[in-house]
Structure 1
Amino acid sequence: MKIYPNRIQIKFRMVKISHLLMTLFLFATASMQAQNPVLSVTGGKLQGVASAAPGINVYKGIPYATPPVGVLRWRRPQPVKPWKGIKIADHFGNISWQSGQQHGSFYWKEFYQNGQDPMSEDCLYLNVWAPAATAGKPDAKLPVAFWVHGGGYINGYGHEITMDGDAWAMRGVILVTINYRLGLLGFLAHPALSAESADGTSGNYGTYDQIMALRWVHDNIAQFGGDPDNITVMGQSAGAASVKNLVISPMSRRLIRRCIIQSGGGMGKFIEPDGDNKIVDERGRLLMEKHGYTTIGQLRAARPEELLKIAAWGVASPHTDGVALPENFDSAVKQGHVADIDYMIGCTVDDIVPMNKAVDAFCYARDSIHTHNIYQYLFARKLPGSTDGAFHSAELWYMFHTLNRCWRPFTSADYRLADEIMDYWTNFCKNGNPNGEGRETWHAFTRQNPFVMTLNVK
């Protein structure tokens, strides 16, 4: 029998290489699992995916309530139903039924010309962007930003083209965005619906969705490395009006550490219907009967596409119901029934309506009775590429640092402004003070020094 030493050596080397490759594979797998562990949240096991930014995980389409379909249409959100196995959160959830922007309109061109995601009544989902290094580490206690989108309570969703959490998470702040019910499906008040309710009220379903989502975040964000005791609620336009509701609602205000109100006014009314429950119920009844819906059975059997055809402006928005919203925002501020926390508030130079006086009024009122700081801003950058100026919603490209998704010819100065705004916003979320090293000092607003930070390119 002949022995071939070279063959034995080669075989031995191949075995060693195979073992080395297996070791490297197992090491890489363990490293990936450490950076993206399976989390235990309300509902079941959850795992995210790597985001486009290095070191960031994104968890898309997390259900925070049972789908409000069938008999749950026009009912307050119910706790999420448990799922089996590990849910891989790799795609965004459905968005609420909405008419969207008219093709060719200004806002269509600005934000929606790439289309929008599938619509469904099954729309109660949220998204989380967090550093991979903090996943599964409750002791990390990172600050959390809870974003409520705008859209007049009839349009919008939590993953619009402007909205992304990578830049937030890279600055050490976990970002959460949510979807909630919109339009008639989210806010219809009606005598028949009130009769079904234990407390005799109806409407505000979208507001209850927001409260449910905030509670889910408070209960689960530690799994992502977040601090449930350091949540900043923030929103723009109808989203800002929503966070004004959240900081006055007895169902949510104690869950909030800070608040950012963008282009949502201040004191004074802002996209909310007048009247008590009976008046709002009657308004809903008359509207639906006008379109042939006279019974609760007909209402629940209606196709969402048909409901979208009904012009609902002035009906499809939150109202003071005595439960989630016991009083309006002005009354709550004056009576001290608003969360006593740090606030940031402002608007754009060319906003949808002049807001300076309303914002000033809120700042003066808070200065009179607060124990925390309030910071006011004015976004003044007139966006390049058109003569539309610093229009309503213009700051969103900057505060999410998503300028590269926009058709406009942004300059290096715009990117520097986006960095500045992101630093101010995330610093505020961290400690209630927007200031940080290398940035212009932003003074708190007081009667003695009514300081307003102007945000513009330099």
Structure 2
Amino acid sequence: MALLNVEVENGKLEGILCGDGLVSSFKGIPYAAPPVGDLRWKEPQPIAWSGVKQAYRFAPAAMQLPASPDNFYYKEFSSIFPMSEDCLYLNVWTSAEKSDEKLPVAFWVYGGGFQAGSSRVKAYYGEDFARKGVVFVSVGYRLNIFGFLAHPELTAESEHHSSGNYGMLDQIFALQWVKRNIAAFGGDPENITVFGQSAGAGSTIIHTTSPLTKGLFQRAIVQSAGGIEVRERPPLAEMEQRGIDFLRAAGLTGIEEARKLSAEKLLETYDQVNPKRERWKLYGPNVDHYLLDAEPIDVILAGKHHDLDYMWGSTAEEGNSYGPAPDCSVATFEMEAKNVYRAYANAYLRTADAKSEEKVRYVQKYNMANGALARCVGFAERQVEQERRPCYQYYFTRRPPGDETGAFHSAEHAYVFQTFPRIWRPYTGVDFELSQIMSSYWVNFIRCGDPNGAGLPEWKPFTEHNHMTMELGDEVGMIPVPETPISKFQKEFIYHQLGMEEEE
């Protein structure tokens, strides 16, 4: 029977058994004090409790705007949860029968554009993953205006002269807690893998490049990182100005007044002030010279990211779940290209060759998939150039049943966690077989840094002489990296390797 009673640095915990009793769960474990009142927009602080805390239920999700029922992910992730500003909790699933088993640890960070999401999403349940001998941890962290507001007043009151990265500091505080306490659950504090999808993948990249996380974990898995913007992590000064603009638009005189607003009123104000389609761009991590000394891409290019085992991957149709762009005119496409690619816009437009609305629609449909693939391949190439540990790459092509969305952004994680029974889709035998393979690959990698194992198709790492990726779909096996002219251009743009003169 799995562990039911443990003692951590904060106090005693009692969990519950899952199903047949081979796995136990500890849900809603406070890893930091509630970030409310004077602790709003401050680094996470320690917490303790007396007696035995019953860790039976999930804690509320972080404050966020409710998903619209017509949003693709509303149905996919069942995004109706209780919410609270008091959200700094984590969950643990373990199959350990005693605390000295030293099982490998998987630390999961959910996605949602740093605007939404929760560790209580059914697709992220760790019970089935833990059955394979992994201690699974999922973490909650502050989002949107609560987690990423920067402002000169906040920077001035910080001993580190930074502000705006509270959601990331929550994750690090939780990771430090896991490092110190996971042995109580039968986990090995010297064998931790950080992984996540979408914004969770972006968070994972930040953790591999932050000076605050060095030595906290041994492996990283980046799932569906998406995006191609080269300056995706703006400097602190730029984020501070956004904070000034927000308070001004909200009619607030300063941080003191903003801290007095109820969480519900602050969220309502955030909704009123910020355009819906721009929120994910306005509030997220920044380069503050505390969490980050430089943009993560620059850290990677300099070879200063953490020396870890890496797995990176993307899906074949990353952008399908977001639907078509509202404007597919050639003029709008060209304007957006200039905003993103700036001095290289003309070169991009020549590569895209989108001279009709039909071609623009096609390019935009696969733009996110191309960008995600570009990130993966570019990182693997940097690992080779810098003579670091080779990266394992995957390319997810299976089109989940139930609709025509295809291999959408984040489609792979239900296969990894084997959570099909908790999801609405009518998965078939092919899906269950693929899920068994993928879950085994992930667990093997988490255990020792190599996904290969008995009975599995061989997964070769990306090397100087092996520019291959593992296709995970109707067929499972190594294939040449499916680069396109656009993904190659984006890869060179992201990793500053264009090798051309900037054009005016």
For the Cα contact (< 8 Å) 1:375–1:444, is it kept in 2? yes
Return the letter of the residue paired with 1:387: E
Q: Which of 41, 47, 59 is equivalent to 1:74?
A: 41
Return the letter of the residue paired with 1:170: R
Partners of 2:304 and 2:227 lie apart in 1 by 15
1:49-97: CA deviations, max 9, x gaps? 10135410100001111111110000000112x2111111101112100
Write out aligned runs for 1:256-335 (5 A): 256-265=217-226, 269=230, 272-274=232-234, 276-309=235-268, 310=270, 311=274, 312-335=279-302
Matching residue of 2:85: 121
Greater CA deviation, 382-391 or 304-313? 304-313
| Secondary structure of residue in 2 paired with 1:426 | helix
For the Cα contact (< 8 Å) 2:380–2:390, is it kept in 1? no
Matching residue of 2:19: 52
Greater CA deviation, 88-97 or 368-377? 368-377
Q: Which of 175, 180, 192 is equivalent to 1:214?
A: 175
Partners of 1:53 and 1:266 lie apart in 2 by 42
For the Cα contact (< 8 Å) 1:268–1:358, is it kept in 2? no
The CA deviation at 1:408 is: 1.6
Q: Which of 69, 76, 99 is equivalent to 1:110?
A: 76
Matching residue of 2:386: 369
Matched, 1:94 2:55: no
Return the letter of the residue paired with 2:466: N
Matched, 1:231 2:154: no
Write out aligned runs for 1:296-445 (5 A): 296-309=255-268, 310=270, 311=274, 312-352=279-319, 353=368, 354=370, 355-445=372-462
Return the letter of the residue paired with 2:88: L
For the Cα contact (< 8 Å) 1:267–1:330, is it kept in 2? no
Q: 1:387 to 1:265 in 2, by over 3 A?
A: closer
Q: 1:250 to 1:325 in 2, by over 3 A?
A: same
Greater CA deviation, 416-425 or 192-201? 192-201
Matching residue of 2:139: 178
For the Cα contact (< 8 Å) 1:273–1:315, is it kept in 2? no
Partners of 2:399 and 2:237 lie apart in 1 by 44
Partners of 1:235 and 1:442 lie apart in 2 by 21
Return the letter of the residue paired with 2:65: S
The CA deviation at 1:267 is: 8.1
Q: Unpaired segments of 5 or more residues in structure 2? A: 320-367, 476-504
1:105-154: CA deviations, max 9, x gaps? 22112222xx53211111000000001423xx23x111000000000001
Q: RMSD value over aligned CA atoms? A: 1.6
For the Cα contact (< 8 Å) 1:53–1:166, is it kept in 2? no
| Secondary structure of residue in 1 paired with 2:194 | strand
For the Cα contact (< 8 Å) 1:266–1:362, is it kept in 2? no
Partners of 1:108 and 1:237 lie apart in 2 by 16
Matching residue of 2:201: 240
Write out aligned runs for 1:38-49 (5 A): 38-49=5-16
For the Cα contact (< 8 Å) 1:211–1:252, is it kept in 2? yes
Matching residue of 1:23: none
Q: 1:130 to 1:370 in 2, by over 3 A?
A: farther
The CA deviation at 1:37 is: 4.7
Q: Which of 128, 149, 158 is equivalent to 2:119?
A: 158
Return the letter of the residue paired with 2:200: G
1:178-235: CA deviations, max 9, x gaps? 0000000000001111121122221100000000000000000011111101000000
Identity over the aligned pairs, expressed in percent? 42
For the Cα contact (< 8 Å) 2:111–2:197, is it kept in 1? yes
Partners of 1:416 and 1:232 lie apart in 2 by 24
Partners of 1:132 and 1:345 lie apart in 2 by 29
Partners of 1:51 and 1:316 lie apart in 2 by 38
Return the letter of the residue paired with 2:58: F
For the Cα contact (< 8 Å) 1:190–1:284, is it kept in 2? yes
CA radius of gyration, larger in: 1
Partners of 1:249 and 1:306 lie apart in 2 by 33
For the Cα contact (< 8 Å) 1:266–1:361, is it kept in 2? no
Q: Which of 468, 474, 477 is equivalent to 1:451?
A: 468
Matching residue of 2:344: none
User: Normalization by structure 2: what TM-score?
Assistant: 0.80
Partners of 1:217 and 1:334 lie apart in 2 by 30
Matching residue of 1:9: none
Partners of 2:91 and 2:10 lie apart in 1 by 15
Partners of 1:433 and 1:294 lie apart in 2 by 54
For the Cα contact (< 8 Å) 2:96–2:186, is it kept in 1? no
For the Cα contact (< 8 Å) 1:247–1:256, is it kept in 2? no
Q: 1:211 to 1:149 in 2, by over 3 A?
A: same
Partners of 1:57 and 1:235 lie apart in 2 by 22
Matched, 1:189 2:150: yes
| Secondary structure of residue in 2 paired with 1:255 | coil
Number of matched pairs: 417
For the Cα contact (< 8 Å) 2:3–2:185, is it kept in 1? no
The CA deviation at 1:257 is: 0.4
Partners of 1:294 and 1:150 lie apart in 2 by 33
Q: Unpaired segments of 5 or more residues in structure 1? A: 1-31
User: Normalization by structure 1: what TM-score?
Assistant: 0.88
For the Cα contact (< 8 Å) 1:188–1:315, is it kept in 2? no
The CA deviation at 1:38 is: 2.5
1:355-392: CA deviations, max 9, x gaps? 11221111100112243231000010011121100001
Return the letter of the residue paired with 1:129: W
| Secondary structure of residue in 2 paired with 1:133 | coil
